Structure 1
């Protein structure tokens, strides 16, 4: 009869096989007729005697024909914004936060615009814009497109 190993106690080596007939059969280490140890999930062939599985052999698993599986093609995120344009905007007029509006980050763009009204605000928004410029130039195109997705 054929079946599948459902469980094996690693301490004792005893286990349970689910037969094709729907019954469960116990086996002991001496019933395992193969070098190596039984493992959960393997297909086996055995002789059934009452509720015991005797002469338990693992079924040979012949590798089937291998098919060439094409790699999963995932469309890269598309973007209608350019990281170089955003970096130039951040460098030239970055204290006004215009580059933030360009990228769809209107909340932080408004904050930068309001900060640029005062001298203290310019001291804050100028390094912020410089850091933004460097970040845009350091990002890969994929990361930029994922972080700033296409406008709808």
Structure 2
């Protein structure tokens, strides 16, 4: 069946197609069969599977801008997390900041002993370095999008 892409969610890549039969069909990124991907307004050919579109191909000559999923940067900042890990890491403050309450409590309890202070100190130093070298998109995926 032929149709046209009506819209694509920038975050998930899910979208909707208007088929030549007048019905609307939904698709997921895995249903797209070409390397360019979905684009609003693109003329396409697809297989209808109930209300879903499968095996979607762009028709030659379609000039529409592809929709690129953009990472949603969260409210947490990797530099603030690194600073907290460096300054107060033995107490697990950076873990609480990032919503990792369980590991924050473990670090806090471990810091009550001398050996635990050494362990949490190394842990915090590794976290500091990891946050600083981690790409913004990966940090946002791990710590910014969804509460944990």
* TM-score for both structures, normalised by structure 1: 0.55
1:102-141 correspondence to structure 2 within 5 Å: 102-141=97-136
Larger Rg: 1
Instruction: Confirm or deny: 8 A CA contact 1:87 1:132 kept in the other structure.
Output: yes
Q: Does 1:82 align with 2:45?
A: no
Instruction: Confirm or deny: 8 A CA contact 1:81 1:150 kept in the other structure.
Output: no
Q: What's the counterpart of residue 67 of structure 2?
A: 72
Misfit runs of 4+, over 2 Å: 149-152
Aligned positions, number: 89
Instruction: Confirm or deny: 8 A CA contact 1:86 1:136 kept in the other structure.
Output: yes
* TM-score for both structures, normalised by structure 2: 0.56
1:89-104 correspondence to structure 2 within 5 Å: 89-104=84-99
Listed one character per residue, the Cα deviations across residues 100-133 of structure 1 (whole Å, up to 9, x for unaligned) are: 0000000000000001111010010000000000
Please tell me the root mean square deviation across aligned C-alpha atoms, in Å.
Answer: 1.6
Q: CA deviation at 1:92?
A: 0.5
Q: Which moved more, 1:73-82 or 1:85-94?
A: 73-82
User: How many Å separate the matches in 2 of 1:77 and 1:65?
Assistant: 32
5+ residue gaps, structure 2:
1-58
